């Protein structure tokens, strides 16, 4: 699999999102999914302390035991684990990283990310604590998530000579294009890697949800028709994108991944998985090199 850079880190262009671990998957199923990912060339594994009520980190740590050198390990802090463990205050940053290192059963984290901005703590204070972690060798690189352009610029200015964010992880897909409102350009200007999450728009871009067809029983979108991404407008767009991909011998899933990776600032597309087969399909979905004409046609479809 191709790799790209997040700061000093070489990561697979398809990453594994670990939000299902500890929630939909137990420890044994987690291990199977993780090993399938590594065996498929995926080396970038992204979790967070809140996933699975902290169980995601625990299960992931067990799964990579003996294979730590094969993994670029990313986790996040800042969203509420509980009422006491939350936010981006320096004291909590120091505690949160210790907790994550223990759960992950590792000596270092490759990419440690602030999960969301904390309006109650100056970003300079948070960055100072993160810089300490980098200098101590507990963290190799730092990143952020759910930041807008103004917040990215504030963080860049506040970093000074210390560690600075090398990545931003925001929602981005064919059906959710908010980063095109400024974050993409800011990544290009500042040399930040963009890590799209929800690249399949909660499953709408897998091709299994079709306009006028019943929602598959037991699927994550069952009962959610008309809410979230599951709108008539999006379903119509899915039909047009599916027709475009099929006419060129590709799947909608391949289009979803490859379109994102056509953006030079995108380092790795993070997608969750609940089975070994799903991991393998995702890992093989990034090989379509869309031409300029194809990108223009997709743009026209998205513009309506």
| Residues whose CB falls within 8 Å of the CB of residue 60, separated by 6 or more in sequence, listed in order | 18, 21, 30, 34, 45, 47, 73, 104
CA geometry: angle 76, 274, 98, nearest 5 deg? 25
CA geometry: angle 231, 237, 238, nearest 5 deg? 90
Exposure on the CB side of residue 272, measured as CA atoms within 13 A: 20
Strand order in the sheet with 109-114: 193-197, 165-171, 139-145, 109-114, 72-77, 44-46, 14-17, 269-272
In the DSSP assignment, the letter for residue 175 is T
| Residues whose CB falls within 8 Å of the CB of residue 202, separated by 6 or more in sequence, listed in order | 220, 221, 228, 229, 230
Identify whether 172 is a catalytic site residue: no
Distance CA 18, CA 8 (A): 22
| Residues whose CB falls within 8 Å of the CB of residue 118, separated by 6 or more in sequence, listed in order | 78, 87, 88, 89, 126
Calculate helix-pair angle for 252-261, 232-247, nearest 10 degrees: 90
Residue 268: C-alpha distances to residues 44, 193, 221, 286 (Å)? 8, 8, 25, 10
Closest alpha carbon to 183 in 197, 173, 169: 169
Distance CA 238, CA 232 (A): 10
* Selected catalytic residue, list 51, 112, 172, 198: 51
CA geometry: angle 155, 170, 233, nearest 5 deg? 145
Catalytically active residues, by annotation:
51
């Amino acid at each position: 699999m191709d790799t790209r850079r997040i700061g000093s880190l070489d990561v697979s262009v398809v990453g594994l999102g670990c939000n299902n671990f500890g929630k939909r998957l137990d420890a044994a199923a987690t291990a199977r999914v993780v090993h399938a990912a590594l065996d498929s060339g995926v080396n970038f594994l992204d979790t967070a302390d809140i996933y699975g009520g902290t169980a995601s980190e625990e299960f992931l740590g067990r799964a990579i035991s003996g294979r730590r050198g094969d993994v670029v390990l990313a986790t996040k802090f800042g969203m509420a684990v509980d009422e006491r463990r939350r936010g981006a205050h320096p004291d909590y940053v120091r505690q949160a990283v210790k907790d994550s290192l223990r759960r992950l059963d590792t000596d270092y984290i490759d990419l440690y990310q602030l999960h969301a901005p904390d309006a109650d703590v100056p970003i300079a204070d948070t960055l100072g604590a993160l810089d300490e972690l980098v200098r101590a060798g507990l963290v190799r690189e730092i990143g952020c998530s759910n930041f807008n352009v103004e917040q990215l610029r504030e963080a860049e200015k506040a970093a000074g000579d210390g560690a600075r964010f090398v990545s931003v992880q925001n929602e981005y897909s064919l059906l959710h294009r908010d980063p095109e409102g400024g974050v993409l350009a800011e990544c290009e200007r500042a040399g930040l890697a963009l890590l799209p999450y929800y690249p399949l728009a909660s499953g709408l871009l897998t091709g299994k949800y079709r306009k006028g067809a019943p929602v598959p029983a037991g699927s994550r979108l069952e009962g959610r028709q008309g809410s979230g991404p599951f709108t008539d407008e999006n379903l119509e767009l899915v039909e047009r994108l599916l027709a475009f991909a099929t006419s060129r011998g590709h799947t909608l899933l391949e289009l979803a991944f490859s379109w994102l990776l056509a953006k030079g600032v995108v380092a790795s597309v993070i997608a969750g998985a609940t089975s070994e087969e799903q991991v393998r399909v995702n890992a093989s979905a990034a090989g379509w090199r869309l031409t300029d004409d194809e990108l223009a046609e997709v743009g026209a479809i998205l513009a309506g």
